[in-house]
Amino acid sequence: MENSRQRRGSNHNGKMQKGAIYLPPEILCEILSRLPVKYILRCRSVCKEWCRLTLGPQFINLQLSRVNHQLPQLILKSDYKVDLQSLLLLDTEGCNINKIPFKKMLNTSKRLNCLRLMCSCDGLLCIAADYLIQPVIILNPITRESVPLPSPKRRAYLVSHQIGFHLDPSSGKYKVVREYRNMNSLNRDEGSSFEIITLGDSSWRKLSAPPVPIEYSSDAAVYWNGAFHWKIQERNDKSGDNCILGFNISDEKFYTISCHVRFGSSEYDLLVLGGCLSLVEHDVHLMRIWKVTGTKDEGFSLSFHCTYDTCVRWNKYLHYSVICQINADSFLLKVSREDGENGASHWFVQFFPGKALYSYLDIPGLPSRFRGVYFKPSFVSPKAASLCSS
């Protein structure tokens, strides 16, 4: 008599096969969602049932919830023309790189070297032109789906372009916010322009922002606590106490965060460390960390957190940026060295401030010049997300 736990399974043609152990779809989802993305893609080739299962919303949401509790990876784009055909998915723990061809996904006539990784959310990348107002593309490099956002009728050349992309927790829709300054605004001493679009909408909407000067940058806006944040240019007048501009994506209102600190000529990074919006100041050999405290209702302010001696006299030829805090004892740094006519070369190190120790990450296949963003591989469809929003 056939064991009651053994039922007819399916082969690669989707036909029932005697002797296979039957597993309910919810159990299969639990098992497959725990696998790395590359193995899930292989499982889609096992049979039609598994392929349909992993394409369904239940599996996509389950896999996304699991990856959101894992350490994020980095996705990189090389600055060299010979390496522009692929994105590089970097696992900093295993120090390995997987190439993801992406030229055919973009569906744009723009040269690949003009496009830059801006930010990511839920496994979706936001890619935009360096100093042009268009195109802006939402892309899932795992499923190879892409959605170009509507292009404005005007043509603008930009000197600053910072984009934020995230899921609005109140509406469940993805929103894109961008800050930019065009070439003409420099002569007229105009401030930044801000626009917003919900994925699936047909046009961008202009936003009315406070008249504060945003620091020139090609970096992404930093998302924290339901809002995007930008660095404000430091000013010499008494009104220059505000150092961060915030924009809540749910109520679509701006606010400023005061710091009452003069950074002078020091460079600083704006990022999230340990779940807090932070400013990391680079003062020659010192790393000072300031953290945002407070609430939306009571107001936010910047408070000093700590100082580390990096034991290196950084300068304009050798400098670093903080990528993330790996754990309580170490940070991941991207180190850059200016090589004159050859441009800059980049590499990753792990910095242990308590031991004043650096550990070089030997990563085979890492290009000498690159840009990157946080990335959590998923199967979220940008096309489905845009249809749900429209």
Kind plus residue range of the DSSP H or E element containing 182? strand 173-182
Per-residue tens of pLDDT for the chain, all 390 residues = 444 444 444 444 445 455 567 788 889 999 999 998 889 999 988 888 899 999 999 999 999 999 888 877 899 988 776 566 789 999 887 788 988 887 777 766 556 667 889 999 999 999 988 778 888 999 999 999 999 999 877 777 777 788 999 999 999 999 999 998 876 655 555 678 899 999 999 999 999 988 888 887 767 899 999 999 998 886 544 445 768 999 999 999 999 988 776 665 568 889 999 899 999 988 889 999 999 998 878 888 888 999 999 999 998 889 999 998 888 899 999 999 987 766 779 999 999 999 989 999 999 989 888 889 989 999 999 998 888 755
The closest alpha carbon to 348, from 327, 362, 365, 328, belongs to: 362
| Rounded CA separation 234/281 (Å) | 13
How far is 309 from 287, CA to CA, in rounded Å? Answer: 6
pLDDT of residue 184: 64
Among residues 134, 146, 150, which one has the least CA distance to residue 198? 150
Q: In what order do the strands lie in the sheet with 96-101?
A: 96-101, 86-91, 73-78, 370-375
Q: How far apart are the first and last CA of the chain?
A: 55
Neighbours of 308 (CB within 10 A): 17
Q: What is the pLDDT of residue 240?
A: 55
The closest of 369, 371, 384, 287 to 331, measured between CA atoms, is: 287
- Give residue for tokens 């990391």: 280
56-94 pLDDT, tens per residue?
999 999 999 998 888 778 999 887 765 667 899 998 877
Listing DSSP states for 284-329 in one string gives: TTEEEEEEEEEETTTEEEEEEEEEEE-SS---SSEEEEEEEEEETT
CB contact at 8 A, 87 and 105: no
Separation between Cα atoms, residue 85 and residue 77, nearest integer Å: 9
**What residues form DSSP beta bridges with 157?**
132
Interacting residues of 103 by C-beta distance below 8 A, sequence separation 6+:
84, 85, 112
Lookup result for tokens 């496994």? 123
Q: How far apart are CA 186 and CA 159, in angstroms?
A: 9
Question: Which residue type is seen at 295?
Answer: T
What does the pLDDT read at residue 5? 43
DSSP 333-346: EEEEEE-GGG-EEE
Contacts of 326 (CB under 8 A, 6+ apart): 92, 332, 350
